[in-house]
Amino acid sequence: MLNNIQNLRAIAAYSVVVYHCLIRFLHPGGLELAYIDMLSGGVDLFFVISGFVMVHTTKEDESGAWFMTKRIARIVPLYWCATTLVLVLVYFRDWTFPGTLLTPQAIASSFFFIPHPNAAGHLYPALGVGWTLNYEMMFYVLFALSMLLPARARLAGVVSLITVVFFAATFAGPSVIHEFYGNPIVFEFAAGCIIAYALRLKTVAGFVRKTPMWPLAIGAVAMLLLDVTFEPLGWPSAYRIGVPSVALVFAAAAQDMYRTRARESLMTRLGDASYSAYLLHPIVIVAAVVVFDHLLGDGLANGIAVLVATLLVTAIISLYSLRFFEKPTAKFVRGLAQGLGLKPPRSEAKAPGVLTPQPNP
């Protein structure tokens, strides 16, 4: 288990949780807005981690079909349940998730990871945070296609496919495809893949064994703060936050793989449950708002109470969701696929130090 990567998952997920709480009651401008927006960059960190983890955990004898089965088993059950709950809430109380459309096309797009504009014109599904899963699913499909190639060509294959998608979308003209897939954020997945392959090289491993990684991690954080301070907020997050995230993921993974591993902690366990935290926290926020609007009315006290309650409740719910929903449903779907004749790789048994693959936002 690469505990540093799990710790980064926790940081990424809960930075997004804090961002969604703060943006409710703070209305900053200028540099203050840039620093609050930095918290939403947990998504960029997740994408880099996702690229790394897919390479690090996928077996050489694994088929693309089995890879997609595992990804679907991990992502779909919880996402569909959370999306259904949001749709029910919107049907009875449309203020809970403003902008959510209840048209058949919008609902189908939400369930099947297809970018679609909401009532405000933003490319958000019914459960708004699910926009990141549309990117994740795109990456998984491209990664599965790259697995048709010999092992030595897979990195070049997946990076090439991501590049093709980006430029095809860029030149597609004004459209949903252009707006969504023409975002350079897609290259964060490629960066994560490159990190994983680089750390397999003997020269890189030797360098890491001789070189402390903490200066690189500190430098990545400093780079992030400098980028947020001096780069325009309108720049793509892939530039402002993605580049420091690459350095941070490299340092974290390298430390665990070739130097002293981080100990398992509460943060590690929260990182393991980060998918549930990411998907469920918007629903927790709505519940907290209802409670504290009634108890405290408007004001700073309300915002602080919502923030604290959301963090605590999300952490507790996510840990239970991982244990009693995510893992059992994933096991059920994989078993169903095997029952239909889809075979896992012979090397499916976990190797020492392998990180359990999870979906990221």
pLDDT band at 52 (very low <50, low <70, confident <90, very high): very high
Q: pLDDT by residue (tens digit) across 164-183?
A: 999 999 999 899 999 999 99
Average pLDDT, the chain: 92
pLDDT at 141 over 70: yes
What is the DSSP secondary structure assignment for residue 60, as one 8-state letter?
T
Dist. CA 253–CA 258, nearest whole Å: 9
pLDDT at 106 over 60: yes
pLDDT at 359 over 70: no
* pLDDT score at 352: 38
300-328 mean pLDDT: 96
pLDDT at 353 over 50: no
* pLDDT score at 360: 53
For residue 318, which amino acid is it?
S
Q: Which residue has the higher pLDDT, 43 or 353?
A: 43
pTM: 0.93
281-302 mean pLDDT: 92
Q: pLDDT by residue (tens digit) across 151-167?
A: 999 999 999 999 999 99
* pLDDT score at 235: 79
Q: CA gyration radius for the chain?
A: 20
Q: Which residue has the higher pLDDT, 359 or 87?
A: 87
pLDDT band at 45 (very low <50, low <70, confident <90, very high): very high
pLDDT band at 140 (very low <50, low <70, confident <90, very high): very high
Closest CA to 218 of 184, 255, 261, 187: 255
Spatial CB neighbours of 159, under 8 Å, sequence gap ≥ 6:
190, 193, 194
Q: pLDDT by residue (tens digit) across 217-237?
A: 999 999 998 887 777 677 788
Closest CA to 344 of 18, 67, 36, 14: 67
Q: Helices (DSSP H) in 112-213: which residue ranges?
A: 131-146, 154-170, 176-181, 187-198, 202-210
pLDDT at 120 over 50: yes
* pLDDT score at 297: 85
DSSP character string of 223-250:
HHHHHHHHS-TTS-HIIIIIHHHHHHHH
* pLDDT score at 358: 55
pLDDT above 70 as % of the chain:
94
